[in-house]
Amino acid sequence: MPQLYAFVLAAIVVALLAVALYRTSRVKTKADYLVAGRSLPAIVLVLTLLTSWIGAGSLFAGAENAYKNGFAALWQPAGGWLGLLLIYFIAPRARKFAQFTLPDMLEARYNQTARVLGTLAILFAYVGITSYQFKGGGDVLHLIFPSTVTPEFGTYLIATFVIVTTAMAGMSSVAYMDVAIGSLVTVICIVAAPMLFFKAGGWAGLHSALPAEYFQALGNYRLDSHGVRQSAGMGVLRALEFMVPVLLLMLGNQVMYQKFFSAKSEKDARNSVVGWILGTILLETLIVAIAVFGRALYPTGEVALHPREIIPYTARHGLPAIMGALLLGAVFAKVISTASNYLFSPATNLVNDVFVRYIAPGASNKRVLIVSRLAVVLLGCWALYQAIYAESILKKMLWAYTIYSAALTPVVLAAFFSRRVTAWGAVSAIGAGTAVTMLWDVPAVKAIFPPILAERDAIFPALFLAVAAMIVVSFFTPKPAPEQLAKFSD
């Protein structure tokens, strides 16, 4: 059995490394490295968008949510589904703009200060997202080889592989690795979900094994042994705390915009969103379902102490050997892909928005490529440090999503849909969203607020203050110049 898992993982590693080596030979310029030479067709965009979006956040944090809350956990990916409907209209505008990073866009629409603050927010958020990909990958290796690979050692192994392959070929490597990974994961989940459903006894078996609120959208009330009404299930406010950060991250996601910047044309960018919508709804629903089926099969034991591991644990113990190995391999590959995407993205910010913009504007392509690869390594080490000390993938995910959602998404949407938001309105929004998220969990700050507010996640306070700052400051500062608005209109 261990030999089978080792063979599957080795095959995936060799295949991904071969793709990275081949694409490295094609990288000659800054544009080749950062946006794949703006050559990606719609089918490649669909698979790379799908694969970069669904990673450890879905396979571990989303699965942990499903283990604890049942099908109500679909509120978390539903935020992304709603965001995709708006992105259909944004995608061609983003490709028309055709720069390298999101801060490029912030400077063109607002000013240099917005660019710098946006870069800082992206660094904090995306390195945080990369860190829990590393941690999730370490968990997978530990589950496969429990006697030889500790979760910490597995985290180091995953981090090393991701850093090396990402540094080699940049966006070109990331996008074409995603094609293979996205295809593999989708097929395996489609096959594995019904197998686990019937193993759990179908709907009758699930209903007998799981609490009633696992099958409700938001939960309800029930009486405890003393006749007191107790809330059962997630509840409206908690559902929104899961949904809104995901929705806003989706709408402002730099990884997504970089993929659109890499498209062959505006038409390819828009068409790719249709496939992305269908693939995301299918795959994330299957992931939640597999986690719920796993909860019915394994309600106690080791996995109950670490519910984030329910999908790889179920693959290891609840499926026939070959299917279990393939599902574990798919999870492993998915974590690698998402880690590569979210590691590469902030590295492009350091290179394009700091090095090329302020330090060496006339740097040659060769020098830019060297610095780009060094940036990947440095940020990868920072993400690895966070991964070793992060306790909860779900908590880390929500923190990273919140800092990005509150700080950047409002000003990104305003760039495309508002003609009145000003440069200093955007700067104040980025600053307020970042500051509130960073400070919200500090005990001294929490002590200021009443318990009913202090116990909530940071998303709504951070988002409210960011949007309020953007509106108020924009009202008192001069309107944007027509040339700033022209690049973002149809």
- As beta bridge partners, residue 223 has 229
Segment 280-293 mean pLDDT: 93
Spatial contact of 173 and 20, defined as CB atoms under 8 Å apart: yes
The string of DSSP codes covering 131-198 is: HHHHHHHHHHHHHHSTTT--HHHHHHHHHHHHHHHHHHHTHHHHHHHHHHHHHHHHHHHHHHHHHHHH
With 90 as the cut, is the pLDDT of residue 159 above it?
yes
Mean pLDDT check: name the lowest of 95-99, 371-375, 449-453: 95-99
Q: How far is CA 450 from CA 122, 234, 391, 436, 456, in A?
A: 31, 22, 26, 16, 11
pLDDT digits (tens, 9 = 90+) for 318-337: 999 888 888 888 888 888 87
Cβ–Cβ < 8 Å for 136, 59:
yes
Residue 172 has pLDDT above 60, yes or no: no
Q: What is the pLDDT of residue 155?
A: 93
State mean pLDDT over 125-150: 86
Residue 377: per-residue pLDDT: 93
pLDDT at 347 over 80: yes
Residue 38's pLDDT band, with cuts at 50, 70 and 90, is low
| DSSP three-state, residue 124 | helix
pLDDT of 373 over the 90 cut? no
User: Taking residues 338-346, what's their average pLDDT?
Assistant: 82
Per DSSP, 232 falls in state: E
Domain 2-392 class? Answer: mainly alpha
62 vs 194, which has greater pLDDT? 194
Reply yes or no on whether the pLDDT at 43 is more than 70.
Answer: yes
Which of residues 197 and 37 earns the better pLDDT score? 197
Residue 262 vs residues 34, 61, 257, 265, 477: alpha-carbon distances, Å: 8, 29, 9, 9, 35
Lowest mean pLDDT among 3-7, 40-44, 224-228, 378-382: 224-228
pLDDT for res 221: 45
pLDDT in tens, 233-265: 567 777 888 888 888 878 777 777 766 666 677
Work out the percent of the chain whose per-residue pLDDT is above 90.
Answer: 20
Q: Write out the DSSP string of 282-312.
A: HHHHHHHHHHHHHHHH-SSSHHHHSGGGHHH
Q: Is the pLDDT of residue 227 over 70?
A: no
- The residues, ordered by sequence, that sit 6+ positions from 483 with a Cβ below 8 Å of its Cβ are none
**More confident position, 429 or 366:** 429
94-103: pLDDT as tens digits: 666 555 567 8
Quick check: 429 pLDDT over 50? Answer: yes
Helix locations, 298-392, DSSP H:
302-305, 310-318, 321-348, 365-389
pLDDT in tens, 463-478: 999 999 999 999 999 9
**What whole-number distance in Å separates Cα of residue 439 and Cα of residue 420?**
30
Highest mean pLDDT among 93-97, 129-133, 200-204: 200-204
pLDDT class for 229, splitting at 50, 70, 90? very low
Residue 18 CA to residue 183 CA, distance in Å, equals 17
Tokens of 247: 């929705």
Per-residue pLDDT for 345 more than 50? yes
Which of 86-90, 176-180, 358-362 comes out lowest in average pLDDT?
Answer: 176-180
Query: What is the signed CA dihedral for 382, 388, 392, 396, rounded to 10 degrees?
Result: 0
- Sequence-distant (6+) residues with CB within 8 A of 410 are 248, 429, 433, 463, 466, 467, 470
Computed over every residue of the chain, the mean pLDDT equals 81
Task: Out of 40-44, 149-153, 408-412, 468-472, give the one with best mean pLDDT.
Answer: 468-472
Q: What are the φ and ψ backbone dihedral angles of 441, each rounded to 5 degrees?
A: -90, 5
Distance between terminal CA atoms of the chain?
57
Reduced to 3 states (helix: H, G, I; strand: E, B; else coil), residue 231 is strand
Q: What is the model's pLDDT at position 381?
A: 94
Q: What is the pLDDT of residue 203?
A: 93
What confidence score (pLDDT) does residue 282 get? Answer: 92
The token duo for 477 is 């500062």
The per-residue DSSP string of 199-229 comes to: HTTHHHHHHHHS-GGGGSSS-EEEE-TTS-E
The helix/strand/coil state of 96 is: helix
Task: Tabulate helix, strand, coil % of the chain (nearest 5).
Answer: 80, 0, 15
Residue 156 has pLDDT above 90, yes or no: yes
Q: Are 147 and 356 contacting, i.e. CB atoms less than 8 angstroms apart? A: no
Residue 301 CA to residue 67 CA, distance in Å, equals 13
Rounded percentage of the chain residues whose pLDDT exceeds 70: 85
Q: Is the pLDDT of residue 453 over 70?
A: yes
Classify 141 in phi/psi space as left (phi over 0), alpha (psi -120 to 50) or beta: alpha
Residue 89 reports pLDDT greater than 80:
no
Average pLDDT over every residue of 22-40:
61
* DSSP structure class, residue 327: H
| Predicted confidence band of residue 79 (pLDDT cuts 50, 70, 90) | confident
CA 317 to chain centre: 27
Whole-number pLDDT of residue 40: 67
Collapsing DSSP to helix, strand or coil, 457 comes out as coil
Tens digits of residue pLDDT in 47-56: 777 777 777 6
Closest residue by Cα to residue 213 from 235, 238, 229, 187: 235
Q: How far is CA 206 from CA 211, 284, 306, 362, 436, in A?
A: 9, 19, 21, 63, 41
Is 27 within 8 Å of 369 (Cβ atoms)? yes
Is residue 222 predicted with pLDDT exceeding 50?
A: no
Please give the helix or strand (H or E) that residue 230 lies within, else none: strand 229-232
Q: Which residue, 119, 166, 165, is CA-closest to 351?
A: 119
Query: Which residues are CB-contacts of 485 (< 8 A; sequence separation ≥ 6)?
Result: 109, 419
